[in-house]
Structure 1
């Protein structure tokens, strides 16, 4: 029996040692997919500064709030945002039941994957596409459609499921912040209903911590059961000046860290950082045409980055050079 206890104690010690080494390694390098340099150092230094008790920049956990744009910041938005890819796939699936769509040039452009025509149609055209593919159904049915699409739909270039194409370096930032008692939020121009279906599974962010654009919705009864029905039209656009408004509506206070990639995130970065001693702003600059995409002023569809890039240095925002700062782009294949 003593021999057995000795072996058990030895095994327990080995397991503890393994856990200690693993924990120490993760603490030594919480961002292993980032190349060493000023960008990676800036993230770590900020987190350490706000979590070090007694420091003049210490921030209580309750106030450690970080907001992240989604498209182009946590995953790609080329050649089109993933929600638009979903909308176009839904349009094609539903088209046989809607012969009247043949008379609508915008919907025809969508059915033919004519992206230049869709872009020319502007916000009005996009709303037509969303109304046709996202509305006149219950929120439960919409959730089911998004889930079904996400199981099989693949990116045309990378040949991987859309929901698997997240940026590994940004996933590490999300985990690093949460390990240091930050609450992480998505603040995106994309539809809140679309993102809330998979945000927890993909990013570890619960649906109640997702702020996005919101369509019209009404309450009703169907077969004696209460439902919410998605109606045509948009009630709130969570982009540009809308992002600080959306943050205020749901959080009631300002974040201390903001992560974006385009001029659509400019006001969110300004709201988070300007004239605030303890704050952090970061812009993902797409500079890697080989592993992902390279663009700023002239994106294929969305993600234009001019004004925010010009203001980055003056406001102390960190600019990620994707080609040089990221050792890995995408999360490993599952």
Structure 2
């Protein structure tokens, strides 16, 4: 009988252990994050700002979290995805207007000759962006972006661009919103480009997307229908020092949490941590050449230099992609 009781006790202990492990897995809000300093910093911060009666409690209305997009919420190599969209749009437009293909910078774009395009300086790039991002109604532009996202594939990963989002960040966004945070994108990318996919990809509605913008004007089309027309003039650049300006203009509250990945996010991180009360600044450090890419100080895309040094000096949370993330991209999406 004693052996039977011992055996039963062992079975119960094993079952309880398995049940506890399953319960822990179910209650972990960030399952794609490895246990460590970065994950713990997030959990501790959320716990203290949501603890009513605690010294660091923050009212829900003031729980603003801002995220860069390129390199922070989705990948950005080998070039920004919006530029790849522009390249594909040039190809489509040249099919309609063959005379363009013999002219620069479109000839270089068609040949995917980035060196030749870069040699033309900002002028060539601005011509490409003007051709593909202006001279049309906003509804037409949105439709072209949506169609591209549905059909295009990343040049090396061969995944749809909407599957190049980061699974750990999707979990973080969900976790923050479940704890009363309002999540915003604050990115150097085009605001209208990002608004096409932000809600579906991240759960962030269009009105919570802040980005660079061109001049848009109201008019009546040839049939008398009211529309917004995109002109080839830059209105606002939401990058570097422009990010705090954009936050002030379009959000109206200083964030208590900000997440970036490059020197272009430095001023947003400075602005966030410069406020009173609890603050959390995070930086994605791209260290995973096998699952994604490894780059920082010398990269032509997403350069992380000054922000990395300042982040280390000020104790910001530096998220090491290789060490801190169990997975990078969502599985089966």
Kept after mapping to 1: 8 A contact 2:238/2:246: yes
**Shift in Å, 1:275:** 5.3
Task: Please state if 1:253 is matched with 2:253.
Answer: yes
> Using the alignment, how far apart are the partners of 2:82 and 2:22 within structure 1?
37
**Shift in Å, 1:252:** 1.4
> Using the alignment, how far apart are the partners of 1:318 and 1:121 within structure 2?
38
Kept after mapping to 2: 8 A contact 1:51/1:58: yes
**CA offset digits 1:38-90 (Å, max 9, x no partner):** 11101111110100111111100000000000000011100011111111000
Aligned to 1:7: none
Task: Please state if 1:306 is matched with 2:305.
Answer: yes
Aligned to 1:95: 94
- Higher mean alpha-carbon deviation, 162-171 vs 112-121, is at 112-121
**Shift in Å, 1:248:** 0.4
| Structure 2 runs not aligned, ≥5 long | 1-19
Aligned to 2:285: 285
**CA offset digits 1:178-213 (Å, max 9, x no partner):** 010100000010000001011110000000000000
**Shift in Å, 1:111:** 1.7
Kept after mapping to 2: 8 A contact 1:189/1:239: yes
Kept after mapping to 2: 8 A contact 1:263/1:308: yes
SS at match of 1:58: coil
**CA offset digits 1:218-257 (Å, max 9, x no partner):** 1111101101111112111110011000110011120100
Q: 1:249/1:137 Cα in 2 relative to 1: closer, same or farther (>3 Å)? A: same
**Shift in Å, 1:270:** 0.4
> Using the alignment, how far apart are the partners of 1:206 and 1:102 within structure 2?
38
Compute the RMSD of aligned alpha carbons: 1.8
Aligned to 2:41: 42
**Shift in Å, 1:25:** 4.4
> Using the alignment, how far apart are the partners of 2:96 and 2:55 within structure 1?
63
> Using the alignment, how far apart are the partners of 1:293 and 1:139 within structure 2?
34
Aligned to 1:85: 84
> Using the alignment, how far apart are the partners of 1:44 and 1:318 within structure 2?
12
**Shift in Å, 1:116:** 2.3
* TM-score, normalised with respect to structure 2: 0.90
**Shift in Å, 1:316:** 2.2
> Using the alignment, how far apart are the partners of 1:202 and 1:252 within structure 2?
25
SS at match of 2:289: coil
> Using the alignment, how far apart are the partners of 1:147 and 1:93 within structure 2?
15
Task: Please state if 1:194 is matched with 2:193.
Answer: yes
Q: 1:118/1:297 Cα in 2 relative to 1: closer, same or farther (>3 Å)? A: farther
> Using the alignment, how far apart are the partners of 1:220 and 1:243 within structure 2?
30
